[in-house]
Structure formats: structure tokens, C-alpha cells
Amino acid sequence: MTGGLDEVTQSFAFQKRYDLSMSNIKKLAREGAATGAITQSPNKMSQPEELRERTKQFALRIIRLFPALPRSDEARILGKQLLRSGTSVAANYRAVCRARSRPEFTAKLGIVIEEADETVFWLELLVDADIVPKARMQGLLTEANELVAIFVASRRTATSRSNPRRHTAIAQSPNRSITQ
């Protein structure tokens, strides 16, 4: 039982932050459409593909954790919630990669952020309720928090690119006077 939990909680190496802006994803799609495949070296994935794989690996770690939890009612109830939210991160990120517009991209990314943050909550609750030792959950907690940070930064980037500062546009408008 603890062997599975130890395997699950091994920490991934911290990976670089990803540029998941809509323009980057669309650029990759254009390249793939123009050449028949995304042009890159066979061993190197694009940043969205790397994050897609990273979220899938995270979901697999959550799936492996579930049967390793203690057989108590509390552990099963919390574990099922964790299983739903943890696997939902990967599934919803796949939907982000298929967004057709910037507003759809940011909306779907918001769902991924909510699910990732909920996953952090369930992991913390398992530790705080003394169901699983913190040392065994540290790797998953670190990964979940890193994913939240990556997705929040990505949404911030996408939002800032789609909503130029309104006050700058007003200040530069020649038709507006200070008294308006």
C-alpha cells in the first residue's frame, strides 16, 4: 500500500513556465496545417504539447493514488473528489487547446484553474485530516500548485493581450476632453 503512494508522490522536476497564449497555440496550429505536421525535432514537444503531457501524467498520478488511500469512509469520499478534480485538469486542458477564440480560450482556462485549485484543496484536506502523511503528498501538492501557477499566468497573459488598458485608449483619444 505505501509503495504505491511513494511512487505517486515522487516529485516531477520543476519545468519552465509555458507561453500558452492563444496566439502561440494558433501559430502552432497554422504551422501544423501548412506542413501537415508541426515542424520540430522528433524529441522536442511544443510547449502546449508538453503541458498536455504534464497534465496527463498528473492525472495518472492521482489515479494511482486513489487505490493506495486507506480504506476508511473519509479517505474514500475525499479520494473520489480528488479523483474527479485531478483528472479533470487534464481533460479540460485538452479542451483549452481546442479553443476557437481568445474568449473561449480564457473561459476554458478558467475552468482548468478551478479544477487544479480544487485538486490542491482535496490534497491539503487529506493531509490536514491526517489521512495521508504530508511527506507522502508533497510531490503531488507541489505539482498541483505549479500547475495552478502556470495556468493563472497563462490566463493573465491571454487576458492582457485581448484587453488593452481601457484608460490608455481613453487618454489617447483625440475626441475626448478632460471634462467628459
Residue 23 inside a domain? The answer is yes
Residue 67 lies inside a defined structural domain of this protein: yes
pLDDT band at 164 (very low <50, low <70, confident <90, very high): low
Task: Residue 126: count other Cβ atoms within 10 Å of its Cβ.
Answer: 26
Mean pLDDT of 147-176: 71
- Enumerate residues 6+ apart whose C-beta is below 8 A from 98: none
Residue with cell 508541426: 38
Residue 153 to residue 136: CA distance in whole angstroms = 28
pLDDT digits (tens, 9 = 90+) for 3-60: 444 444 333 333 333 344 445 444 444 444 443 333 444 567 888 999 999 999 999 9
For residues 138-142, average pLDDT = 97
Within the chain, where are the H helices? 2-8, 22-35, 47-68, 73-97, 102-128, 134-162, 166-172
Determine, yes or no, domain membership for 27: yes
Please state at what angle helix 22-35 crosses helix 47-68, rounded to 10 degrees: 110
Please state the domain count of the chain: 1
| pLDDT tens digits, one per residue of 83-134 | 999 999 999 999 999 999 999 999 999 999 999 999 999 999 999 999 999 9
Residue 106 lies in a domain: yes
**Whole-number Å distance between alpha carbons of 60 and 57:** 5
Residue that has been written with the C-alpha cell 501557477 in this structure: 149
Please report, for the domain that includes residue 166, its CATH number.
1.20.1440.60
In a domain, 55, yes or no: yes
Whether 61 is covered by a domain: the verdict is yes
Question: Is 6 contained in some domain?
Answer: no
Cα(23)–Cα(62) distance, integer angstroms: 31
Domain that holds residue 24: 15-172
pLDDT tens string 48-60: 999 999 999 999 9
